Amino acid sequence: MNNIDSYTHTRGESIYLDDIPLLQGTLFGAVFPSPFAHGVIKSLDICEAEQMPGVVKVLTYKDITGENQIGGIVPDEPLLAEDEVDFCGMPVAFVVAETDEEARAAVKKIKVEIEKLPVITDPREAAAKGELIVPPRTFKLGNIETVWQQCKYIFEGIAETNGQEHLYIETQGAYAVPVENNAIKVYSSTQGPTAVQRASCRVTGLPMHMVEVDVTRLGGGFGGKEDQANTWAALCALATHVLRRPVKYALSRMEDMAMTGKRHPYSSDFKIGLDKDLKMIAYDVTFYQNAGAAADLSPAVMERTLFHSTNTYFIPNVKATAYSCRTNLPPNTAFRGFGGPQGMFVIEAAIAKAAEELGIDKDVIQKRNLNKTGDEFPYGQKAESEAKACWEEAESRYGLDKIKDEVESYNALHKLNKKGVAVMPVCFGISFTNTAMNQARALVHVYFDGSVSVSTGAVEMGQGVNTKILQVAAEVFSINPSRVKVHTTNTSRIANTSPSAASATADLNCKATLKACLSILERLKKVAAEELAVDVASITLKDEWVYADGERTKLNWKTLVNTAHLKRVGISEHANYSTPVIYFDKTIEKGHPFAYHVFGTAITVVTVDCLRGIYEFEAVKIVHDFGRSMNTSIDIGQIEGGLVQGIGWMTMEELIYDKEGRLRSNALSTYKIPDIYSVPKQIDIHGLESQNDNLAIFKSKAVGEPPLMYGIGAYFALRNAIKAFNPGADIPFSAPMTAEKTLLALYSKTAKGLNVVNKKVEISVQSL
């Protein structure tokens, strides 16, 4: 089945926040952001701004009618700065004017006097100064202390990954509208309608039933709108509450890039121990997470880093510690993978380090240490593993040995271009690590004309979840999909939603839809049995007809639902689904936090131009554990998108904050994301159709986040190519591996000698 949005997307008819028709009298907001990363506000002058044409009000923290607090996990984040600013871009005031232009013009007239305080941008510096968001946590397996003596080889190092801008095509924004009796309706571009509702209520002081949040769809979220849509929605809701007029604020691209948090940069220390057979038997890792100025989702992100610190390998003795470090950057937040990719990069770096020092291929160590069913993760859960199945399928289907041979012979023939290859296996846990969040609700109405409407807590952000939900209803009732409509996500229809996140949205909301549809189906079958005077057990519905004992009857779908309604049988249902089995005990850091794991293996081939440091990805060949995909075109789209986003993070997307905490890469001219020219020339995706029972909807495993981590292979393929040019190259484990860093690595000082024979080239190399 096609993605149900493809038709209106292609025609430009899909409704996003900015496409909602505005009510007469709508006002426009704009934020005055802190120009400094850390300091005490000595004075704030809004007088001139208030006098500007069209300005209705300039709101500061003093206008907040509820609580000046939007911190979700830790209450450490004011909506508007009071007497201190903690990051560059922190909202200080909110101008509301008759037009967008007038609001932004007035923002420029606000004057603030700030006494600067020292700025911290480095997580290790923050940790050294005791600036932690929450206490550190440690996951342990076996006994790391006593096992080092048994190791034949031990390697240590540092690995670093930079952050990543979400760059959803639709920027953040919200539109709040007053409704009668002091209530408010908020349209928001959010992954978390309930998070927006909660934040809006907190700052206005309204109870949750007075604030209705409605979301049609997002032009991308990637985690950036799991918690950080709250700020703009809360500002609009507050202004609407105070002024009783509709207020809209949609951020410009540069405002969005400068004011919102991103993927967390990490700096980590690793120590890996292997035995004589290259089994990893000891792994000690310490993560320093750059959380930014407030907690936001950082403690949860940090937790997932620990969960994925050993990726898909079984290591019997592990100690993994993580620090969430408070710095003066915008609060960093959820981003596809949610700390998992950062954890996986470090174990892959440790393996690369070992392989390079031992002079063997990295994949030899990787393959030897893949987990198998029954192996214990450091957090106590036992693996139901497809790691070997994915690896071996990739190895044989794509001919890994042949690929490696071809790379080697290419490199023997070419002096200034070198190819590199890397294998990246992935194992990602599916469920919110916070057990309580693994619940969802669905409201299904069958109308007496035979059409069906479904509402759930799922937010459509391009990932195709609405199509999957529609498929569930159409399948259960065995009706034409055109009879089903999936409605907007709305907190009055579906309450207490978990955000659409953690790759779990389709599973949770489709399961709730399934439950609701099955209840209605049961009642419909009873009606059919009465009408036909047969036993209810003999009734089935197929292709819009009622069958009794396998024989088609005179009753079709339309007459059946109409009959049920006339007999006063309810044909609506609200259902609740909570993931069974899962739990986690934080006091011992053990449990069974995930419904299941998703596995996969990617083989990446790159060609590096060793004169210029630029590179092209020739191919990425993937075997991905689908379970049994319920929509392969959507799932393949997710894999392609995730892969390219991961490659971008690992190679070209370079966030630069200066020492003053200002974002210098604040536009698409200075922050380069993958485009059609930088995606791999060839992407092969093969679905591993595993038959194991799992908790996925129709056994179709979650697919949102895991593919991003295939992109990590890009870094290691580049490393492999650089080593082919300069075997002694000193390459820091530091991503992204931009063209600039690649060039530096190709000619790095500790090189045992340049691998260049042509005299002319030698000269140009020296002039570099």
**Contacts of 428 by beta carbon, 8 Å cutoff, 6+ apart:** 308, 337, 340, 503, 597, 598, 705, 706, 709
Q: Evaluate whether 561 touches 446 at the Cβ level (below 8 Å).
A: yes
By CB under 6 A, residue 502 contacts ligand MOS: yes
| Residues in binding contact with ligand LUZ, number by CB under 6 A | 12
By CB under 6 A, residue 308 contacts ligand MOS: no
Nearer to ligand LUZ, 237 or 334 (CB): 334
Q: Evaluate whether 423 touches 403 at the Cβ level (below 8 Å).
A: no
Helix (H, G, I), strand (E, B) or coil at 517: helix
d(CA 262, CA 230): 15
Report the partner that residue 318 touches, choosing among ligand MOS, ligand LUZ, none (CB closer than 5 to 8 A by kind): none
For residue 306, the one-letter residue type is L
Tell me how far, at minimum, the Cβ of 160 lies from ligand MOS, in Å.
20
Q: Which of 86, 102, 165, 226 binds ligand MOS (CB under 6 A)?
A: 226
User: What is the footprint of ligand MOS within residues 334-393 (CB under 6 A)?
Assistant: 334-336, 338
Helix (H, G, I), strand (E, B) or coil at 465: helix
Tell me how far, at minimum, the Cβ of 705 lies from ligand LUZ, in Å.
6
Where is 140: in which H helix or E strand?
Answer: strand 137-141
Identify the sign of the CA torsion 149, 150, 152, 153.
Answer: negative
Nearer to ligand MOS, 102 or 296 (CB): 296
Tell me how far, at minimum, the Cβ of 207 lies from ligand LUZ, in Å.
24
Answer left, alpha or beta for residue 374, where phi above 0 means left and psi between -120 and 50 means alpha: left
Tell me how far, at minimum, the Cβ of 348 lies from ligand LUZ, in Å.
19
Q: Which of 32, 87, 222, 338 binds ligand LUZ (CB under 6 A)?
A: 338
Please write down the HEC assignment for all residues of 182-201.
CEEEEEECCCCHHHHHHHHH
Q: Evaluate whether 287 touches 160 at the Cβ level (below 8 Å).
A: no
By CB under 6 A, residue 232 contacts ligand LUZ: no
Tokens 């923002």, residue? 107
Decide if 705 is catalytic. Answer: yes
Nearer to ligand LUZ, 290 or 433 (CB): 433
In Å, how far are 49, 113, 137, 543, 554 from 549, measured between CA atoms? 76, 81, 59, 15, 13
Tell me how far, at minimum, the Cβ of 704 lies from ligand LUZ, in Å.
8
Please choose, from the candidates 206, 245, 207, the residue with its C-alpha nearest in 3D space to the C-alpha of residue 27. Answer: 245
By CB under 6 A, residue 501 contacts ligand MOS: yes
By CB under 6 A, residue 432 contacts ligand LUZ: yes
Report the partner that residue 662 touches, choosing among ligand LUZ, ligand MOS, none (CB closer than 5 to 8 A by kind): none
In Å, how far are 35, 93, 121, 189 from 233, measured between CA atoms? 22, 14, 28, 9
Q: Evaluate whether 119 touches 328 at the Cβ level (below 8 Å).
A: yes
Among the candidate windows 22-30, 65-73, 328-336, 653-661, which touches ligand MOS by CB under 6 A?
328-336
User: What is the footprint of ligand MOS within residues 716-735 (CB under 6 A)?
Assistant: none
In Å, how far are 79, 83, 445 from 75, measured between CA atoms? 11, 17, 39
By CB under 6 A, residue 270 contacts ligand MOS: no
By CB under 6 A, residue 334 contacts ligand LUZ: yes
d(CA 590, CA 285): 18
- Bridge-based pairing state of the strands 247-250 and 211-215: unpaired
Closest chain position to ligand MOS (CB): 223
Report the partner that residue 300 touches, choosing among ligand MOS, ligand LUZ, none (CB closer than 5 to 8 A by kind): ligand LUZ
d(CA 615, CA 618): 9
User: What is the footprint of ligand LUZ within residues 487-546 (CB under 6 A)?
Assistant: 501-502
Tell me how far, at minimum, the Cβ of 708 lies from ligand MOS, in Å.
9
For residue 680, cis peptide bond before it (omega within 30 degrees of 0): no
Q: What end-to-end distance do the CA atoms of the chain give, in Å?
A: 54
Among the candidate windows 18-26, 138-146, 430-438, 523-531, which touches ligand LUZ by CB under 6 A?
430-438
For residue 482, the one-letter residue type is S
Q: Which two tokens stand for residue 699?
A: 């056994």
Tell me how far, at minimum, the Cβ of 591 lies from ligand LUZ, in Å.
13
Report the partner that residue 335 touches, choosing among ligand LUZ, ligand MOS, none (CB closer than 5 to 8 A by kind): ligand MOS
Q: Which of 417, 433, 638, 720 binds ligand LUZ (CB under 6 A)?
A: 433
Q: Which of 33, 123, 223, 331 binds ligand MOS (CB under 6 A)?
A: 223
Report the partner that residue 241 touches, choosing among ligand MOS, ligand LUZ, none (CB closer than 5 to 8 A by kind): none
Tell me how far, at minimum, the Cβ of 509 lies from ligand LUZ, in Å.
15
Q: Which of 113, 160, 705, 740 is catalytic?
A: 705
Active site residues: 705
Residue numbers at the binding site for ligand LUZ (CB under 6 A): 223, 226, 297, 300, 304, 334, 338, 432-434, 501-502
Residue numbers at the binding site for ligand MOS (CB under 6 A): 191, 223, 226, 334-336, 338, 501-502, 705
